Amino acid sequence: MLFSPWGDVVLKVYRVGESSFTYWLDRLERRGEVLESRVMEDVRDIIEDVKSRGDEALLEYTRKWDSFQVDSPRDLVIDRARMEKAFTSLPGDLRFALEKASDRIRRFHEAQKENSWFLYEGSGTILGQKVTPLERVGAYVPGGRASYPSSLLMNVIPARVAGVKEVVVCSPTPGGEVNEALLGAAYLAQVDRIYRVGGAQAVAAMAYGTGLIPSVDKIVGPGNVYVATAKKMVFGKVDIDMVAGPSEILVLADDTAPPSYVAADLLSQAEHDPLASAILITPSQTLAEEVVKEVESLLKGLATSTTARDSLANYGGAVVCSTLEEGIDLVNKLAPEHLEILTRDPWEVLPLVNHAGAIFLGVYSPEPMGDYMAGPNHVLPTGGRARFSSPLGTRDFVKYSSVVSLSREAFMELKEGVVTLAQWEGLPAHARAVKIRE
């Protein structure tokens, strides 16, 4: 770690290759593991309880953990009429922002739509792929003070664009408090029903069904460690979007990047969660040191400074590399959720980036634009999973069926090869099913 002349700053400067950097990198890559292991047994018990007791368990957990006194399952339902009422009562500027965001998200995801296709061969062979929307999807949306209307839009709109017939939402209402902006976003996104249920019990209800909540084909949406662990446990009974971890931002910058912009962008993610990571990678030691100073300045008076400080102290860093190329290699190793490229020519760097959830090019494309208004989905792989997975999109709400149609001519052309392979694999019934048609 490099010496800092500013005393005990929250954002530390590291140099690639030094022992302090290696220790920091190892700690970064292992964050969140302990938390998940601690809650697994509790989550498993909750899932089994909901499977066996259904709505009775949901009511009990809602009274206990959400301090929301409900008498019957019907008290947990919010219908379309209530959503519409909430939307029309929102302040005009908020309605406008939600509508604009919805429109941009919808247009982006419409461009992702895939259609069924077929190949026709002269011998009478028709091969193809049939694209079919899922029938019912459940979205988990955090409730109360931590509720995010933008997340609801990002999770639900792609499902509607894909043609999903029914979309339901589970969102807790702590103390019975309903977030009107969340209801308004649900109205815009065409949610069918909202259930005032949260936590692992909501995930279990959507996976297995209760008298009130129907079982779904897929569960999407963010949540705390209990929600994330429950999603992992019910995978296989239903599909899930991904196993999401704490938020991440990585800024790859050279000496052309304004330090105040970099510092502000790092804080935009550090304020999410003490486990969030906000990292600068740069070949410029001068930039690293200036960003450290800017971070300290911007933290003063920031309402979320306590959370941001914890995040930066534990999982943040200003990493100095020898060259920009070395920095790009580190980017690909970390495979960040959000990557900002603030260099002389970001488009020259883009082809060299192989692993990142969302990529933001240039100083006027800060990560918060992607969170709210740009259009691409902000549900992204975290924890290095961008090495093998992608942002949530329209394709996540459809399934693909192969289609095969052979004429007799095509059948006769292929049958000898099928019989040969089946016999070599020791599957005589396979061969017979072909030879019987000769």
Lowest mean pLDDT among 131-135, 240-244, 424-428: 240-244
271 is catalytic: no
* pLDDT above 70: residue 140: yes
**Cα–Cα dist 151/103, whole Å:** 15
Calculate mean pLDDT across residues 377-405: 96
Among residues 220, 142, 140, the alpha carbon closest in space to that of 177 is found at 142
| Phi and psi torsions of 274, nearest 5° | -60, -20
CATH 3.40.50.970 fits 37-240, yes or no: no
33 is catalytic: no
Question: 423: which 2 tokens?
Answer: 């016999």
- Burial of 60-69, coded b for 16+ CB within 10 Å and e otherwise, reads ebbeeebebe
Calculate mean pLDDT across residues 232-253: 94
Fold classification of 13-32+245-374 is: Rossmann fold (3.40.50)
By three-state DSSP, how is residue 212 classified?
Answer: coil
Give 5 or 143, the one with higher predicted confidence. 143
pLDDT of residue 145: 63
Calculate mean pLDDT across residues 198-204: 97
Lowest mean pLDDT among 166-170, 256-260, 274-278: 274-278
User: How many percent of the chain have pLDDT more than 70?
Assistant: 96
**Cα–Cα dist 87/189, whole Å:** 11
Question: 105: which 2 tokens?
Answer: 């998200």
Q: Which of 271, 289, 294, 338 is catalytic?
A: 338
Work out the number of other CB atoms within 10 angstroms of the CB of residue 72: 10
Same fold, 13-32+245-374 and 37-240: yes
pLDDT band at 31 (very low <50, low <70, confident <90, very high): confident
Q: Is the pTM of this model over 0.95?
A: no
User: How many percent of the chain have pLDDT more than 90?
Assistant: 90
Largest CA distance in the chain: 85
Calculate mean pLDDT across residues 59-63: 96
* pLDDT above 80: residue 8: no
Among residues 360, 247, 359, the alpha carbon closest in space to that of 304 is found at 247
Among residues 105, 269, 76, the alpha carbon closest in space to that of 185 is found at 105
**Cα–Cα dist 382/13, whole Å:** 23
* pLDDT above 70: residue 191: yes
* pLDDT above 60: residue 1: no
pLDDT band at 4 (very low <50, low <70, confident <90, very high): very low
Instruction: Tell me what the pLDDT averaged over the chain comes to.
Output: 94
Q: Which of 294, 337, 340, 367 is catalytic?
A: 337
Domains of the chain by residue range = 13-32+245-374, 37-240, 406-435
Distance in angstroms between the alpha carbons of the first and the last residue of the chain: 75
pLDDT tens track for 320-369 = 999 999 999 999 999 999 999 999 999 999 999 999 999 999 999 999 99
By three-state DSSP, how is residue 138 classified?
Answer: strand
Q: How large is the C-alpha radius of gyration of the chain?
A: 25
- Helices of type H across 163-274: 180-189, 199-208, 225-234, 259-270
Give 243 or 277, the one with higher predicted confidence. 277
Among residues 147, 153, 62, the alpha carbon closest in space to that of 106 is found at 153
Cβ 342 vs Cβ 350: under 8 Å: no
